[in-house]
Structure 1
């Protein structure tokens, strides 16, 4: 990044209430420290957001843009599915690209968002990874689920990466799931060296479920795109979901599709612009 400007334009967006400050780093000079990201994300003294998204010129020939994601704690992370939809809407609405099918380069690899005629955005989220070393997760071998010891006793989770590392627990009722206690315990567990996002999944049927997600560096959010993908894939592998499903999160519903091993997961949902503004630096 180059020397920052005195003021910085931004757009506030959300995907099902998972909210973002989106910044154009193609036409603006942007250099934000973790402390500045935290200040912008602060809901009392800043703009307020779950994540800050930075759109930059591509660093590789096969990408249209570099898409970077910073959690509210200032840390940069690999992927954000709700953010990817908002980023695609942003580059189109800002005139950065006229394409309806895009290629974004992220820390978690290439992703492919597509703007649909009905206003929603469909994202090829990539192929989920189950190899413990690549998630990363401390386990001797790959398994459908694992036992993890916590302060209150052992829990069974699926562990996988889809851009970000995820742990998924099946619960009887998301409304009473111990998100506030188990979320932080699992999110910072030593078996996940980069920390982990934690999904609490309630299966309603072969094509429907409910989900709450505790995100590393953020806390519980109204929606989480990669978390929805991870929960859907875990449910599919457990034999509880078919190849498509709708997951209901606090902020609304996301539609998922997966053809099985070695194929990408597709995520479809809305991307909404709330307002635009200018930051003084």
Structure 2
């Protein structure tokens, strides 16, 4: 029995998740302000790659906030749909609930859904939510990749610079001061390579940590929206018991019994076929028995 759509269930806005995200970013900003001089030195070790990492992080943060903010109009539309009288014009549904609005747009009187229709709508919405989160996951992986790329890049610079330094070092010189000076100048390039490696790892891993927390909050907001939507749709869904037909809606025990019955029937038919074969063989033997006796008698006469 379907319930009326005025059941009192109301979808909640995602404000708590936005608050957590902003508080987390405020804490991160406070730490950056304290460590600003050292962070600036690490950033200048490789401004190009580190700038790319920071830019990717900024885009990912904006997308995470967009995922949560997008749920606000969706929640508002669902609550307005529940309160609206049948036949009353509603504003166009947001992008996420467009298929649902198409299916429910022509309701008359008390709204009821079949279990199949409810599952189809929830599957469509769930696939759209998963598609949005795939982009955030990719950007988290991209930040880690850029950090590792900078690490290997810096290590490559370090190894090649150390080799060049050792080759250019004149160990036969008598002036130890000149040898030390050339060694110190030659080690500047390897140190720059190490700075590139460690700074890129620092920005890449830190960025993935920040974006991972924001993606976690966005995922929790989407999951709560999906669960509350499912709870509301379950109150307007009719569950109709349909008698089970052969091959449909059977329990595992019934399926096993049907399979066993089929095997027994096949075995019975095989036994009947073997009995018919034995009967035909016996009849054939009875038919040729006189001929065999006559042939045996002829052979006996010839032998005598």
Query: Structure 1-normalised TM-score?
Result: 0.23
Larger radius of gyration: 2
When you count helix as a share of all residues, which structure comes out higher? Answer: 2
When you count strand as a share of all residues, which structure comes out higher? Answer: 1
Query: Structure 2-normalised TM-score?
Result: 0.22
The higher-RCO structure (CA 8 Å, 6+ apart) is: 2
